[in-house]
Amino acid sequence: MDAARIYANTQSRLFDLASGLTEEQADAPVPALPDWTVTETYAHLAGICSDVLSGALTPPATDTVTARQVAERAHLDAEEICQEWKAETPAFLDLISTQQRTRYRLPVVDIWHHENDLRGALDLGPQTEDTDQLADFTIGGLAKGWSPELASVRVEATDTGRTWTLGQGEDLIWRAPLFELARAVLGRRSRGQVAAMDWSGDPAPVLEHLSAMPFPERDLAV
């Protein structure tokens, strides 16, 4: 994964988005993150950057840590949060460029998905740049940890031809566009949405194992 480039490009788009927010948009709930508003999502992202850089956090973050990140910035608006975040970014990019441990790719996964979470909250279309790298990182991670006790799954991106195999064999085949797969395996599609995708066979026995995060209670569009 081209971690530093993806992070920097995604952050730049998020800065542009923040600069044009109305008060109503800033306070809008984010459906993929039911406890956060748009501004609070920015607070979390700035907090991840700050905490990892200071050594207070080695990814991934717990719910307690992310709640603290949001609470610490509750007095700031989105523009002010972005100024804090921007100031710490050069050192953060240096860190993720040189740190080889896989867990230091997690903030890149986080920011990419949160950009799309925010776009969904603001009724904007998906941002698909670098979907291939995000999907490969997450689905590849699932493949490495797939239990031999589970049915095997061949995952096929219908728009790119990219494939992954979870387990040994092809007991099931799961087909969907690459963006849908990338979002699904990080908890951005509901259980019903994943089950309704193109499957050969019954996915019910493996559904709970296909996402690195809990399924959302509601369907998500972005």
Q: What does DSSP say about strands 33-37 and 172-176: parallel, antiparallel, or unpaired?
A: unpaired
Look up the CATH number of the domain holding residue 21. Answer: 1.20.120.450
Helix (H) or strand (E) holding 163: strand 163-166
Statement to judge: residues 106 and 136 lie in one domain: no
Q: pTM of this prediction?
A: 0.94
**Residue 24 pLDDT grade (very low, low, confident, very high; cuts 50, 70, 90):** very high
Which of 91, 121, 151 lies at the terminal end of a domain, its last residue? Answer: 121
At 104, the pLDDT band (50, 70, 90 cuts) reads confident
Backbone φ and ψ of 154, nearest 5°:
-95, 120
The CATH number of residue 149's host domain is 3.30.1050
Which domain range does residue 137 map to? 131-209
| Residues 84-93: tens digit of each pLDDT | 999 999 999 9
- What's the one-letter identity of residue 65? V
pLDDT band at 1 (very low <50, low <70, confident <90, very high): confident
What are the tens digits of pLDDT across the range 147-200? 999 999 999 999 999 999 999 988 999 999 999 999 999 999 999 999 999 999
